[in-house]
Structure formats: C-alpha cells, structure tokens
Amino acid sequence: MIDEKREKFIIPIGPQHPALKEPGHFEFTVDGEIVTAASVRLGYAHRGIEKATESRNWTQNMYLLERICGICSHIHALAYCLGVEKLAGVSAPPRAQAIRVIVAELERIHSHLMWLGVAAHEAGFDTLFMYSWRDREALMDVLESLTGNRVNYSANLIGGVKFDISTDQRDTILRALETLEERSKHYLSIVTSDMVFLRRTRGIGTTSAAQAEKIGLVGPTARASGVARDVRVDAPYAAYVDFPVKLVLHTVGDLESRFVVRINELFESYRLIREILDHMPEGEITARIPRRIKEGETISRVEAPRGELFYFIKSNGSDMPERIKVRTPTMCNMASVPVLGIGQQLADIPMILAGIDPCFSCNDRTTVIHQGEDGDVWTWERLRQHGIDFYRGQP
C-alpha cells in the first residue's frame, strides 16, 4: 500500500522557457500549492567562451566577451578592458572613461526598464510590460545613434573608446532622459500603488539582510534587502571616481522593494549621466596599447545592471590571454531562488525567479553535475586524463 503522507509530488519546470525565454531546469516539490523543496539545474546555454578566449588575441577577445550577454554587453567589454589596461599599465584618458560610464549607465537604464517589463509580464500585468518597453525604445534609439548599434554597442577599445560624444548627441541624450524620467516616476507610482499588482509583489519572497548576506546576493537584489553593496561605490572604477553615485537602498526585501530599488536606480542613472555630460573632461579618447600584454594576472570588478561582474585575467606575455575567468551576477543571485521559493505558492515562483533579474546565458560557463549523495569531485589528474582520452577518441 502506498503511504500517501510520504509520497512527494515534484513539478519539473524547464529546461524550455521556465517562465523566462531562457533555458534552466527547476524541480519544485509541492504540498498542494505550497512549495516544500526546490532545486535548480543550469548549464544548458554553456558555450565554452572562456576556453575560446585562449585562442584569440586580446582585441578579438573583447568582441567575444561582449557577446556573453546581449543585455549587458558593454559592461562585459568594460570589465575586460579595465583588466587588460591594468595588466598593461596603461589607463584610458579621462574623456574615454566618462564616455564608458555614460554608455554603461544608458545600458543600466535599458536593462532595468526591460526587467520592469519582464517582471510585470510574469505577474500578468502586460499593460505595464507593453508601455515600459515602448518607452525603452527611446533609449535604444539613443544608444543606436551614439554607438552605431542597438545591442552589441562595441563602444570600447582596449585603451579607450571608439567615438566621441558631439553636442548634438548630448542634446539627444538629454531630451530622451527627460521623457524617461517623467515616465519612470509614473511607473514608480504604479508599482507602489496598483492594488492588484501589489498582491503579487508585497510580502512575496522576502529576503532579510542577514539572509541576503548568507546567500551572497549582489546588485539591486541585495540592495532591496538593505545590503549596501555596489562596486561603483565600494571600489569606484573608470569615471565613477570623479562622478560618485549614490547608493540606492530599500530595507523590506520583498519583490515590491526590488521594483522600488531598480526604478530608483534609474533616477540615479539619469542624474549621473546629466552630471557627466555637464562636466565632460576634455582631451583624447584613446591611449596607445601594446599588442602583447605584459606577463601577470589581475582581477577586474564592475557593477553590471544585475550586480557585481568579476573578471580574472592572466597573461603569459603573448598576444593572447592564458586564462580568463568570468563570474556573472546571476550566478550569485540564482542561489536565492530555491531558498526563497520554499513556503511560497507555486504561482509566485515565476515572480521570485524574475525578481533576481536572471540572465541564464551570462551565467552558464561551468557545469557541476552531482552524482550520488556526496557529489563527485574530480582531481586535476583525473580531469587531465579524461581530456586526453576524450581527444584521443576523436577522429
């Protein structure tokens, strides 16, 4: 006879489009409508980019790394360029750093507005989704006229940027910001006052500051729980040294506060871009950089729209890197989904997942598959032998 009390009901979600249009597999054990256990399996979008960087030169790698993420492409290239410049002992001119920050902040605005739409869509609030994306289009036009592309801007060069900002473009940016600021205020009032929407966000997936610290959350997800963590403030890079940003914090830690933090960050970005445009440093926009980078290793940290983005770069003195390691913010934030999901309604899970602003493709660079209870740890020797055997078997 089946013991009904001990039987578990597991709902598998994904890997095809689990709430979002990216691959990831989730298993939720449910008791009625309430989730009692959850697990995440990632790695479906693993592309071997880190390995590919080892067979391309420093310049080519910038474009490869830019394509790790379609939404935050500029920040990847920026983290890489800052790291390589540090290794080479060259720093980009102040005007180039200012332009880099302007593009990074424009990218943050577009990313946050996009998230606002996606998260609203997950909550079933498609009106907000449609209108926020319509307004985001104004920003995409600005990015296109400024950099020459809507998505992979390719604004960076190792040692500077590709283009300058003219007076006309400055006016275009300011005009777009004016409209966006007004709209953002409107959206902030909607997400904090619409009764139906608040039932999906207020008090759902609440993360305390202690919990956020323990899981290791980063970016706006951590700041919504009152954890003061922002690389732009903690370790300013590029033009953030001269143009400091104000930390945006909220203390509640539920989904509503994640909306509030991200929209308030938009206002901070608008302010910062205006300030930089008003006090643009004069001078060159590129510095000369050698084709071969000095031997050494370095780390580079930047604040991507989703949180801390980390690069480790090692050079052996040739024109190609020896090793590049990337850790994206989604990797850190993803751990919160199985933890926060427990005890919630199954219907709230997509919102909790969308609440961290996940980006699966950014995230998938290592796959660890646990076999058995204790997992399976491979020694370096065993991994090396596996590699030799694998390639020996190839035609």
Partner 1 sequence: MRMGAMFTDVIRALFQRPATRQYPFERTASPDRLRGKLNWDAEKCTGCSLCVKDCPAQALEVFMVDKANKRVVLRYHLDRCTYCAQCVVSCRQSALTMAHDEWELADTDKKLFTITCGDDADVQRLADLAPKGVNEQT
Q: Which residues would be at the binding site for partner 1 (CB under 8 A)? A: 56-57, 59-64, 127-128, 131, 134, 137, 144-149, 152, 154, 157, 162-163, 186, 189-190, 193-198
Inter-residue long-range contacts of 26-32, CB under 8 Å, 24+ positions, other chains counted: 26/337, 26/349, 26/353, 28/341, 28/346, 28/349, 30/346
Q: How far is the CB of 188 from partner 1 (least distance, A)?
A: 11
Q: How far is the CB of 77 from partner 1 (least distance, A)?
A: 10
Q: CA torsion angle for 363, 369, 373, 374 (degrees, to 10)?
A: -80
Q: How far is the CB of 394 from partner 1 (least distance, A)?
A: 22
Name which of 2 and 195 has its Cβ closer to partner 1.
Answer: 195
**What phi and psi values does residue 308 have, to the nearest 5 degrees?**
-70, 130
Name which of 146 and 227 has its Cβ closer to partner 1.
Answer: 146
Inter-residue long-range contacts of 170-174, CB under 8 Å, 24+ positions, other chains counted: 170/277, 172/142, 172/145, 172/146, 173/102, 173/106, 173/142, 173/146, 173/273, 173/277, 174/274, 174/277
Q: How far is the CB of 256 from partner 1 (least distance, A)?
A: 12
Q: How far is the CB of 157 from partner 1 (least distance, A)?
A: 6
Q: How far is the CB of 146 from partner 1 (least distance, A)?
A: 7
Q: How far is the CB of 185 from partner 1 (least distance, A)?
A: 13
Q: How far is the CB of 54 from partner 1 (least distance, A)?
A: 14
Q: Which residues contact 158 (CB under 8 A, 6 or more apart)?
A: 58, 59, 62, 81, 84, 85, 88, 289
Name which of 44 and 133 has its Cβ closer to partner 1.
Answer: 133
Name which of 266 and 334 has its Cβ closer to partner 1.
Answer: 266
Q: SS3 for 297? A: strand
Directed axis angle between helix 94-122 and helix 73-88, to 10°?
150
Q: Cα separation of 141 and 101, whole Å?
A: 18
Q: Cα separation of 310 and 78, whole Å?
A: 11
Name which of 31 and 137 has its Cβ closer to partner 1.
Answer: 137
Q: Cα separation of 329 and 363, whole Å?
A: 8
Q: Which residues contact 250 (CB under 8 A, 6 or more apart)?
A: 223, 224, 225, 226, 257, 258, 260, 261, 264
Name which of 55 and 251 has its Cβ closer to partner 1.
Answer: 55
Name which of 17 and 186 has its Cβ closer to partner 1.
Answer: 186
Name which of 183 and 262 has its Cβ closer to partner 1.
Answer: 183
Q: Report the side by side order of strands in the sheet with 296-304.
A: 296-304, 307-315, 321-327
Q: What does the block give as tokens for 180? A: 């966006």
